[in-house]
Structure 1
Amino acid sequence: MQAHQIMSRRVITIRPESSIADAIRVMLAHHISGLPVTDSTGRLVGIVCESDFLRRSEIGTEHKRKRLLSILLGADRIAREFVKEHGRTVEQVMTPVPETVIEQTPLQEIAALMERRNLNHVPVMRADRVVGIITRSDFLSAVAGPLTSAPAGLEDDYQIRRSVLAAMAGAAWQPIGLNVSVRGGVVTLRGVVRSETSRRAALVACETVPGVREVEDRLCLQPVRPDPEDDYGGGDIVSLQAEPSTIDDEPL
Structure 2
Amino acid sequence: MKIGELMDRDLTALHEENTVAEAIETLLRHHMTGLPVLDEDCHVLGFVSEEDIIKSALPDYVSKLPSSAFLPDYGQFSVRLAAVGAKTVKDIMHRGCVAFDVDDTDFVVAAEMIRRHIKVAPVLKDGVMEGYISRAYLIKRMMRAAKPGSDAEVLDDQH
Give me the TM-score of the superposition, normalised by structure 2.
0.73
Work out which structure has the larger RCO, using CA pairs closer than 8 Å and 6 or more positions apart in sequence.
2
Per the alignment, residue 50 of structure 1 pairs with 50
Aligned residues: 136
Q: How far apart, CA to CA, are the structure 2 residues paired with 1:99 and 1:56? A: 20
| Aligned-pair CA distance for 1:13 | 1.2
Post-superposition Cα deviations, 1:130-177, rounded to whole Å, max 9, x if no partner, equal: 001111111220243256x5659xxxxxxxxxx69x944xxxxxxxxx
- Asked which structure has the greater CA Rg, the reply is 1
1:132-147 to 2 correspondences below 5 Å: 132-146=131-145
Match of 1:64 among 61, 65, 77: 61
Indicate how the Cα distance of structure 1 residues 108 and 144 shifts in structure 2: closer, same or farther if over 3 A, else same. closer
Q: Does 1:99 align with 2:98?
A: yes
Q: Partners in 1 of 2:145 and 2:124 — Cα distance?
A: 27
Q: For residues 6-30 of structure 1, what are the alpha-carbon distances to aligned partners after superposition, in whole Å with 9 as ceiling and x for unaligned?
A: 1010120111111000011111112
Partners of 2:48 and 2:92 within 8 A in 1: yes
Match of 2:109 in 1: 110
Letter in 2 for 1:114: M
Counterparts in 2 of 1:1-252, with a 5 A limit? 1-57=1-57, 61-64=58-61, 87=84, 88-146=87-145, 149=147, 167-168=157-158, 205=159
Of Structure 1 and Structure 2, which has the larger fraction of its residues in helix? 2
Ranges of 4+ aligned residues in structure 1 off by more than 6 Å: none
Distance (Å, rounded) in 1 between the aligned partners of 2:127 and 2:138: 24
Instruction: Give 1 or 2: higher strand fraction.
Output: 1
**Residue 4 of structure 2 contacts residue 103 of structure 2 at CA under 8 Å; is this kept in 1?**
yes
Instruction: Supply the distance in 1 between the matched residues of 2:48 and 2:28 (Cα, whole angstroms).
Output: 13
Q: Give, as a single letter, the amino acid of the residue that structure 1 aligns with 2:59.
A: E
How far apart are 1:63 and its partner, in Å? 2.8
| Residue number in structure 1 paired with 2:73 | none
Q: Which ranges of structure 1 fall in alignment gaps of 5 or more residues?
A: 70-84, 153-162, 169-204, 206-252
Per-residue CA deviations over 1:213-249 (Å, capped at 9, x if unaligned) read xxxxxxxxxxxxxxxxxxxxxxxxxxxxxxxxxxxxx
Instruction: Tell me the CA shift for residue 115 of structure 1.
Output: 1.9
Supply the distance in 1 between the matched residues of 2:16 and 2:90 (Cα, whole angstroms): 5
Do the aligned partners of residues 146 and 100 (structure 1) sit closer, same or farther apart at CA in structure 2, a change above 3 Å counting? Answer: closer
Question: How far apart, CA to CA, are the structure 1 residues paired with 2:2 and 2:51?
Answer: 27
Determine helix, strand or coil for the equivalent of 2:123.
strand
Where structure 2 has 5 or more consecutive residues not aligned to the other structure, the ranges are 65-80
Cα separation, 2, equivalents of 1:146 and 1:99: 25
